[in-house]
């Protein structure tokens, strides 16, 4: 059950939460709703699996062969994925993975984690050290449509929370580490893909959970999965909590709007590492959740232009 830590905002009533797919992930993450495909794509990071959820049809999955942090659909077909060994193209027809680049080849203890595309189709993804002691040695990387890579904000422990405002002028990213648990924002140049120095947006010290994955709705509000806190939280552009949704899993990992009208809020979750003694209280841990009745609408996610 949700803990009783100090909270901010008002829980949102009229909510309906259901399990969307008959899959239990070890480390569910990276949901992307593709408007053209009308399906939700997501990953189980440590299982090395890509999932495709069709709300009206059959779900499908692919083995990647290594940890897979995030993905984006490509304009030219197939996927781009960010894995432990770097950026790759992934052919969903053949299951063949083609390497693009590994910007942190010298760090075998690190892997890619959260990611998203900007409104011009550039693919952003962040790394994290997941072997040995955590340290602020990770970076956010931009994969351009010409398949060249550029490093963005760095010195991060656990990269997360990548999202863009509806007009693309603001970029959001987070560090989930307990010593940081902060979301930043930066001005973003859609013409160049460059961002300004980050500025503080929101810290989760007063919330039960830390900032994991995020997305933005049509009103420009930022939705955060509060990992460890049994919550999904909506934050206004001014940095104020205005909506809290209690979820039946301790470790929600990333929200994403989907459905024909972008009014279903999908949330991935994690079954590994739940608090000892709580497993019986969260049989849906690791599930892909579908939340209705939250009163918001998402924005379309852009395909990778490469």
Domains annotated on the chain, with CATH: 16-292 (2.120.10.30)
Which are the catalytic amino acids? 212
pLDDT of residue 6: 30
Residue 48 CB-density burial (10 A; 0-12 exposed, 13-18 middle, 19+ buried): middle
Of the candidates 217, 243, 197, the one whose C-alpha atom is nearest the C-alpha of residue 297 is: 217
Return the half-sphere exposure (C-beta side, CA atoms, 13 A cut-off) of residue 276. 0
Which tens digits make up the pLDDT trace of 128-164?
999 988 899 999 999 999 999 999 999 999 999 999 9
DSSP sequence for 38-95? TEEEEEETTTTEEEEE-TTS--EEEE-SS-EEEEEEBTTSSEEEEETTEEEEE-TTT-
Residues 6+ apart with CB under 8 A from 260: 38
Per-residue model confidence as pLDDT tens digits over 197-237: 999 999 999 999 999 999 999 999 999 999 999 999 999 99
CB 228 within 8 A of CB 208: yes
pLDDT at 19 over 60: yes
pLDDT recorded at residue 132: 87
Residue 36 backbone zone (phi > 0: left; psi -120 to 50: alpha; other: beta): alpha
pLDDT in tens, 89-136: 999 999 999 999 999 999 999 999 999 999 999 999 999 999 988 899
Question: Could you tell me the strand order of the sheet in which 86-90 lies?
Answer: 68-73, 79-83, 86-90, 97-101
Is the backbone of residue 96 left (phi > 0), alpha (psi -120 to 50) or beta?
Answer: beta
| pLDDT of 87 above 90 | yes
- Given this model, what pLDDT does residue 11 score? 53
Reply yes or no on whether the pLDDT at 13 is more than 70: no
Residue 3 pLDDT level (bands cut at 50, 70, 90): very low
């Amino acid at each position: 059950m949700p803990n009783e830590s100090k909270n901010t905002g008002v829980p949102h009533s009229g909510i309906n939460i259901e399990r969307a797919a008959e899959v239990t992930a070890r480390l569910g993450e990276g949901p992307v709703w593709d408007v053209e495909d009308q399906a939700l794509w997501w990953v189980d990071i440590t299982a090395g699996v890509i999932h495709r959820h069709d709300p009206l049809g059959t779900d499908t999955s692919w083995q990647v062969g290594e940890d897979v942090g995030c993905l984006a659909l490509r304009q030219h077909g197939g996927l781009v994925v960010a894995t432990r060994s770097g950026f790759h193209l992934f052919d969903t027809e053949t299951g063949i993975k083609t390497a693009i680049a590994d910007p942190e080849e010298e760090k075998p203890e690190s892997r890619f984690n959260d990611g998203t595309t900007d409104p011009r189709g550039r693919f952003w993804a962040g790394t994290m050290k997941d072997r040995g002691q955590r340290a602020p040695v990770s970076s956010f990387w931009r994969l351009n449509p010409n398949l060249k890579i550029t490093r963005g904000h760095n010195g991060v422990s656990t990269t997360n929370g990548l999202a863009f405002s509806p007009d693309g002028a603001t970029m959001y990213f987070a560090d989930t580490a307990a010593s940081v648990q902060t979301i930043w924002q930066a001005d973003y140049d859609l013409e160049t893909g460059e961002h300004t120095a980050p500025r503080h947006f929101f810290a989760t010290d007063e919330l039960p959970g830390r900032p994991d994955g995020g997305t933005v709705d049509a009103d420009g509000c930022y939705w955060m999965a509060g990992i460890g806190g049994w919550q999904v939280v909506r934050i206004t552009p001014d940095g104020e909590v205005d909506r809290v949704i209690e979820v039946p899993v301790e470790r929600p990992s990333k929200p994403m709007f989907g459905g024909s009208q972008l009014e279903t809020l999908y949330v991935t979750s994690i079954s590994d590492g739940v608090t000892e003694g709580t497993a019986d209280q969260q049989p849906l841990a690791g599930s892909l959740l579908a939340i209705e009745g939250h009163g918001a609408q998402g924005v379309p996610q852009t395909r990778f232009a490469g």
